[in-house]
Structure 1
Amino acid sequence: MHLARLCTAALLTTTALVPLGATAAHASVTRVRQGSTSDVTRGTWSGPSFVMNGSGAVVPATMTTALNAIRGGTGTLDVVVIAGSGSTTPECDAIIGLTGVNSCTTLTLTAASDGNNSQVNTDIRNAEFVYFAGGDQCRYAAWKGTALEASVESVVAKGGGSGGGSAGLHINSDIVYDACGGSATSATALADPYSAAMTFTTGMFGWPNYLNTINDSHFVTRDRMGRTMAFVARAIADGRTTAGKAWGVGIEEGGSFVIDRNGLATLAGQDAYIVLGDHTPERATAGQSLTYSDYKIWRVTPGGTFDFKTRPTCGYYLKSVTNGTPSGSLYSGTPVTDCSGGGGGGGGNPSQVTETEPNNSRSAANTVTVPVTVTGDLATSGDRDYFKLTLAAGRTLTAACAVPSAYDADIYLLNSGGSTLTRSVNDGAGTDESVTYTNTGSGSATLYLDVEAYSGSGTADYTCTITI
């Protein structure tokens, strides 16, 4: 140990804690406190705020921003660092000198039962920020359901914060790649998304504005885009997310997101990638390679932002995986700028289109981009209006048409050859019609919505809203 580390260690208050039920084979919890021996007392805090780091080291710029947000720029606060192994305190060594830090306590826990240690939970609950160190996220996932989980959640709930790097980054996402079956590579994950190394923990931490996320670390250096794609596909296929969408958050070594109370993330250091899967995988089956079309990927560079509360629907580039093989380089692409189709997976407000005659056949169809609301009329008996659209593989389309009382209309959804895929032919003037169709093919499909006058006609408008 060099002289500076010796001098620092001489200033520490160090206490060894033995949890209940400890045996001779289980080392006691180690507690090392730096700074003040007394906790800060204060009524309200201004967070929550979070840091998500691509490697285990603290990034002073984002940590300072997060801590300043929590303390509202005034006073001081206490930080706890949680580690699953080791005997040194590199995170607290970096944190203790930051503005506004009253104390930093390193807690090294070596067993799942340590999550119920009373002193550990007292330290956490008295803190305003909890930082999970690098190491082994499988050990961290074992604390799910212990008092530690609730204690960390109490820190965020009172306006404090949480975060971490490497393994500590993984444990702070909504869906945790826990690596309890070993560390998956991109190659193994894409070859079989259900391989033994693809294990997950859910229901631990669900931070505000950060739901349906799966974090990944050391992202570009260790070429982890492919495995994050497999994480996303698995989360959707296994029903671990809401609305059938999952968001991978991959952060490069040295990169760090600081996320404010409104869900706005600002990046420092190195690049980060947000990977959206917004439909059911074409193939995610045990023992078979992954096929998934049109992942939407945002590349965020240092100084850039990403809004996790109101997630963007534009600015992504598209990449696919077919039979386990990605479509070219995964770390760059041409961003989509025309997002009238809803870049966030059918999200966003539908565009408005009024039919243009003549559109009485597939060859003369009005081309539209989903989501869209089309308006037209069936002015003559036997009138037909055709709308041409594209549906990606694995996506489900719904067309719901409001029919005026002047006539009875039917709707048909046709394939590119004109064959009927599904139809709605309810009886009665003014009776609404609706169809739903899923593209189960391996590629995008060209479809036609055919709106027909069955009985009667008129200049009153029908309105069809088409969504995915």
Structure 2
Amino acid sequence: MSRARNPRRLTLVAASAALLTLAPIGVTAAHAQVTRVRQGSATDASRTAWSGPAYTMNGSGGIVTATMSRAVDAIRGGTGAIDVVVVAGSGSGTPECDVITPLTGVNSCTTLTLTAARDGNDSQVNTDIRNAEFVYFAGGDQCNYVAWKGTALEVSVESVVAKGGGVGGGSAGHHVNSDIVYDACTASATSATALANPYDRSLTFTTGMFRWPNYADTINDSHFVTRDRMGRTMAFVARAVKDGRTSGGRAWGVGVEEGASLYIDRNGLATLSGPSAYVVLGDHQPEVAVSGQPLTYTNFKIWKLTSGQTYDFANRPTCGYYLKSVRAGVPDGSLYSGTPVTDCSSTPPPSGGSAYAEVEPNDSRTAANVITALTYPATVTGDMKSSTDRDYFALTLASGQTLTAACAIPTAYDADLYLLSSNGSTLTRSVNDGAGTDESVTLTRTASGSATYYLDLEAYSGSGAADYSCTLTRS
């Protein structure tokens, strides 16, 4: 919920006598920092195989019974019952389990309230999670949740998905389930603040916690329309692309409205229950994303979902979006609606351009990746897999055409950019110092006819799996 607190979690009640009033079958305390309330059966369900994974991504903290029931049914394959764990970072109530426990196919629901980072290594907490088939992260403060990165809890939750169970969350719990987490650990960002300066102190992110199958390169946002968060999600997406946080130079914001929930099945197909949800794609480098300056990013592709509509995260669509831009921090009007593109088969998308991810080995001109078929502006991505890596890309320029290549380099390494002639001579280069320092070159062909040129990106120091992303324009 991005730092805003859920009122039911404002008061901590640690006394066991108070907790006993919450659960009919008893309560145990793992240690002073953890409270545990179990409802339903005292004995875990036992089965050798489950039929998930399944996910619920909720725009506010409460359980949406339509998607929760669907996830429970998918995981149990229509028979038997599952155990559910609700993980919270504060509070003493059990509102999620109060709704979940009576659902068909639920054997038990256990609320675990963890109030310190070290609680992620609590033995009882991890036993409960590993024995469950669904883990739901409650609303609250996602900065508390990302503190569990690297603890046993992270691995335990991943084991639930791996055995065919599922995960979900609402508000802050929705945030923590995306590939890139807006963690709100310094302040809560507004759309106005984020667009005015995408590097404002309130825009902080955690990566490398959870990456669910079919859900890579995503950034979740909640309370989406009610709190007017489209602008800040645009800034989140632009930052993810600019900072090299994604695996292919593209990022998808997933904004879910209050009361809405996305159910995502084992094949990556998301179906919306409730008012609305939005998928916001940034598929090229931002034109301007600099600390202290307003954002400029043209042609975000936005899919709007209403109740019953679907979005395929495994095979992400190339049509059905509408376009919105931000220029000097000022977004287009009517961000939450637009005329969708419905046919991309006969004409290029209105934003133009295409993308290419490097294919190794491309370490010489003779092994260069051929990108002559790309439409412009184009995006080329890859990585410096070793400190001696060189990536070559072959393209053509006609007489009078000007090529500009602007490469965003991740902080894992320092790379230099060269533009070579067809015989390998260096025509221009960019060799700025420092890991994470961007490089760019520009060249106009003045000779008659067309010719082949090579972009050559070379590791100068360092290496890693983080992607560079080069935006190519030709005029």
Contact 2:96 2:138 in 1 (8 A): yes
SS of the aligned residue for 1:310 comes to: coil
Aligned equivalents of 1:89, 1:203: Cα separation in 2: 29
- The match for 1:292 among 293, 297, 303 is 297
**Distance change in 2, residues 1:10/1:311 (3 Å):** closer
Residues 169, 215 of structure 1: 8 Å contact kept: yes
Stretches of structure 2 lacking an aligned partner (at least 5 in a row): 1-7, 9-17, 357-370, 382-391, 405-418, 424-437, 453-471
- Shift, 1:327, TM fit: 1.4
Q: CA deviation at 1:419?
A: 5.0
- Show CA shifts across 1:257-311 (max 9, x none): 0001110000001100000001111111111111111111000111000000000
Q: Closer, same or farther in 2 for the Cα pair 1:344/1:74, shift >3 Å?
A: farther
Tell me how far 1:106 sits from its aligned partner.
0.2
Counterpart contact for 1:212–1:246, Cα < 8 Å: yes
For residues 38 and 419 of structure 1, the distance between their equivalents in structure 2, rounded to whole angstroms, comes to 72
The question of 1:133 aligning with 2:133 is answered no
1:226 alignment counterpart: 231
Pair 1:141–1:59, CA change in 2 (3 A): same
| Aligned partners of 1:46 and 1:72 also within 8 Å | yes
Q: Which amino acid aligns with 2:171?
A: S
Q: Could you tell me which residue of structure 2 aligns to residue 17 of structure 1?
A: 30
Q: Which residue of 2 aligns with 1:101?
A: 106
Aligned to 1:412: 397
C-alpha contact 1:56 1:167 (8 A) present in aligned 2: yes
Alpha-carbon distance change, 123 to 240 in structure 1, aligned in 2, over 3 angstroms: same
Say yes or no: does 1:216 pair with 2:210: no
Letter in 2 for 1:313: T
Give CA deviations for 1:296-344 in whole Å, capped at 9, x if unaligned: 1000111000000000001111111111100112111111123242589
Query: Which whole-Å CA distance do the structure 2 matches of 1:99 and 1:8 have between them?
Result: 24
Q: Secondary structure at the match of 1:9?
A: coil
Please give the per-residue CA displacement for 1:130-158, whole angstroms capped at 9, x wherever unaligned: 00000000000000001100000000000
What CA deviation, in whole Å up to 9, does each residue of 1:405-460 have, x standing for no partner? xxxxxx5246xxx4544898647xxxxxxxxxx9x99xxxxx9xx96599xxxxxx
Change (3 A) 1:451 1:311: farther
Q: Does 2:270 match 1:265?
A: yes
Please state whether the residue corresponding to 2:22 is helix, strand or coil: helix
Matches within 5 A, 1:186-201: 186-201=191-206
Contact 1:75-1:100 at 8 Å conserved across structures: yes
Using a 3 Å threshold, how does the CA distance of structure 1 residues 179 and 10 change in structure 2: closer, same or farther?
Answer: closer
1:336 alignment partner, one of 336, 341, 348: 341
Q: 1:275 aligned to 2:280?
A: yes
CA distance change for structure 1 residues 424 and 144 in 2, over 3 Å: closer, same or farther? closer
Question: Does structure 2 conserve the Cα–Cα contact (< 8 Å) formed by 1:278 and 1:345?
Answer: no
Number of residues paired by the alignment? 386
Q: Find the partner of 2:354 among 346, 362, 365.
A: 346
> Aligned equivalents of 1:242 and 1:451: distance in 2?
37
Query: What one-letter code is carried by the residue in structure 2 that aligns with 1:341?
Result: P
8 Å contact 1:295–1:320 — kept in the other structure?
yes
Provide the rounded CA distance (Å) in 1 between the counterparts of 2:59 and 2:352: 24
| 1:160 has 2:146 as partner | no
Q: 1:73 to 1:284 in 2, by over 3 A?
A: same
Larger Rg: 1
| Other-structure match for 1:124 | 129
Identity of aligned residues (%): 67
TM-score of the pair, normalised by structure 2: 0.74
Distance 2:323 2:163 in 1: 39
- Equivalent pair of 1:210/1:308 in contact (CA under 8 Å): yes
Superposition TM-score, scaled by structure 1 size:
0.75
Q: CA deviation at 1:346?
A: 2.4
Distance 1:192 1:306, change over 3 A: same
* Residue among 190, 193, 207 paired with 1:185: 190
What is the aligned-residue RMSD (CA, Å)? 3.5
2:79 to 59, 74, 78: 74
CA contact (8 A) 1:313 1:345 kept: no
Task: Report the equivalent of 1:254.
Answer: 259
SS of match in other structure, 2:120: helix
CA contact (8 A) 1:276 1:344 kept: no
> In the TM superposition, what is the alpha-carbon distance from 1:62 to its structure 2 partner?
0.3
Give the stretch that moved more between structures: 277-286 or 205-214.
Answer: 277-286
**Structure 1 gap segments, 5+ residues each:** 19-26, 349-370, 375-388, 402-410, 428-437, 442-446, 455-466
Instruction: Compute the displacement of 1:6 (Å).
Output: 11
CA distance in 2, matches of 1:46, 1:319: 39
The alpha-carbon deviation at position 372 of structure 1 amounts to 9.0
Contact 2:23 2:39 in 1 (8 A): no
